[in-house]
Chains A and B, each alone.
Chain A
């Protein structure tokens, strides 16, 4: 019995070794492999763009990994990734040694449950609700129920855009629930008739049109939709950025020009982001 086990383990080991050797002998380092890491919001879109790129350039492999916007910027800087993904604009400190190219645009809108009668909130009302000055829906035209305020976690691009637009500090906000990813926010609001939150407009529009019981609110009378973000009437938007060093590799440059071309506009639209007019 022992002999059989040892035989099995040795053959397994040889198999693994062989598999490993095969891989390292047929692939050249960065000639035909592109590593892209960063924001999980952008990862599905960039992965799909990568697949289309692979079909147009046989032999090339595009590996997309997640890990967050900060990681994407960091990896681009240290060279662990050829391209980083950040779901925000580059900060001033980052822009000194890195280059950011906008892939697409996304908006940030407020959402409530479908059954909530409120359809519009003014800027001041939003500030009051989030700082705890207004606590019940009836003060803004809804039913007599306590507002469940949903905020995003620190460091996230969505939060920073929200705070910047409404001139708030995170310490001022009185939240009842803090969420991480967009879908968590949507599911929280969909499960609570008295919740108010803010998420990516693309995600919200997709879900609302596919039966999830949420609705996007108008802000100061401006409807929140991809269309209004596209034509600039909706004020809160963010760029989805591809980050590289000042001297990106040829393959990275080819990929970026492919990703920002009109060839992938259908993919961008499929993911409910706004392609840039090229």
Chain B
């Protein structure tokens, strides 16, 4: 049995995938290790809570963390409803107007390829100037939402498409409204794809630099409201490493904080999502 060609193929496949995974982990540990090595020394409680001084070379990133979280909040508040709505439409309700659905799908794919600097300039022209929001957290959040939407929608749509059509037929046969079907069955069942899209989108949003320079701005003061300009963590990292001489240590420390922040948000999102879907869907 072990000489069976299938068995050999199995071992081969297992070997290749495992070695690829190990190789990738090594490369990524190298990268993360480099960041940790240079940045760990700067990571203190003061660093997380005080304001930056001397162009960021001293002091901390307190206000910047707050600005970043606010920008993410605005972004996700805009993305979740619009993204979920569009994804549901594309997978469930666009069959009568297939051409419209396809058009939206293609335009989202193209949108995913627009460079971040174009988003930044567009965001500046549209949100800051035309809509009059100025350099503000809201402008930054909305611009990021434009960037995150394609990936979130496509991932969520794939999630809904992967669900067996039986689900909809059986709930229709039971007389449930489409709204209830969505809320009670389809969304929880598609939760893995939804979460994947959300986390990928969040990752993209938190890592964005060029789009935010022109929209949420450079001011490193604690923002008084959402209509204030606030510097995001990624811009701070860019400024410290590329613009301010001697800012490297703090740049790496900020990068470490960013990665940790993302890790916490991801873990939280996964926990909430799984709890919600496991209450609704026992076996998928």
Whether B36 is near chain A, meaning CB under 8 Å from some CB there, is no
Give chain B nearest CB distance to A183 CB in angstroms: 5
Bound form: Cα–Cα A80–B242 in Å: 26
Whether A2 is near chain B, meaning CB under 8 Å from some CB there, is yes
Contact check, B135 vs A47: say whether CB atoms are below 8 A apart: no
- Produce 1/0 per residue, B209-229, CB < 8 A to A: 000011001111100111111
Contact check, A206 vs B243: say whether CB atoms are below 8 A apart: no
> Which B103-123 residues sit within 8 Å CB-CB of chain A?
none
Contact check, A210 vs B225: say whether CB atoms are below 8 A apart: no
Residue on B nearest A45 in the bound complex, by CB: B55
Residues of B within 8 A of A64 (CB): 218-219
- Could you say which of B225, B243, B245 contacts A19, with CB atoms under 8 Å apart? B225
Contact check, A65 vs B245: say whether CB atoms are below 8 A apart: no
Whether A221 is near chain B, meaning CB under 8 Å from some CB there, is no
Residues of B within 8 A of A45 (CB): 55
> Which B64-94 residues sit within 8 Å CB-CB of chain A?
74, 77, 81
Residues of B within 8 A of A9 (CB): 77, 81
Residue on B nearest A206 in the bound complex, by CB: B245
Whether B241 is near chain A, meaning CB under 8 Å from some CB there, is yes
Q: How large is the interface on B (under 10, 10 to 19, 20 to 34, 35 or more residues)?
A: 20 to 34
The stretch of A20-28, A112-120, A227-235, A246-254 that contacts the partner chain = A20-28
Contact check, B243 vs A40: say whether CB atoms are below 8 A apart: yes
Residues of B within 8 A of A182 (CB): 243, 245
Contact check, A63 vs B245: say whether CB atoms are below 8 A apart: no
Give chain A nearest CB distance to B204 CB in angstroms: 22
- Produce 1/0 per residue, A169-205, CB < 8 A to B: 0000000000011111010000000000000001100
Residues of B within 8 A of A206 (CB): 245-246
Contact check, B54 vs A41: say whether CB atoms are below 8 A apart: no
Bound form: Cα–Cα A125–B44 in Å: 49
Contact check, B227 vs A23: say whether CB atoms are below 8 A apart: yes
Contact check, B218 vs A43: say whether CB atoms are below 8 A apart: yes
Whether B239 is near chain A, meaning CB under 8 Å from some CB there, is yes
Whether B56 is near chain A, meaning CB under 8 Å from some CB there, is yes
- Could you say which of A12, A35, A43, A271 contacts B77, with CB atoms under 8 Å apart? A12
Contact check, A183 vs B220: say whether CB atoms are below 8 A apart: no
Residues of A within 8 A of B229 (CB): 63, 65
- Produce 1/0 per residue, B89-102, CB < 8 A to A: 00000000000000
Give chain B nearest CB distance to A130 CB in angstroms: 23
Whether B129 is near chain A, meaning CB under 8 Å from some CB there, is yes
Residues of A within 8 A of B246 (CB): 206-207, 210
Give chain B nearest CB distance to A157 CB in angstroms: 15
Bound form: Cα–Cα A102–B24 in Å: 52
Whether B22 is near chain A, meaning CB under 8 Å from some CB there, is no
Contact check, B219 vs A65: say whether CB atoms are below 8 A apart: yes
Residues of A within 8 A of B129 (CB): 80
Q: Beyond the given A23-B228, A43-B218, A183-B241, please list 15 additional residue pairs across the A-B interface where CB-CB is below 8 A.
A: A1-B183, A9-B77, A12-B77, A19-B227, A22-B225, A24-B227, A41-B243, A43-B243, A64-B218, A65-B218, A65-B219, A80-B129, A182-B245, A184-B242, A207-B245
> Can you list 9 A-B contacts (CB < 8 A)?
A12-B77, A16-B74, A19-B227, A20-B227, A41-B243, A63-B217, A65-B218, A180-B242, A186-B245
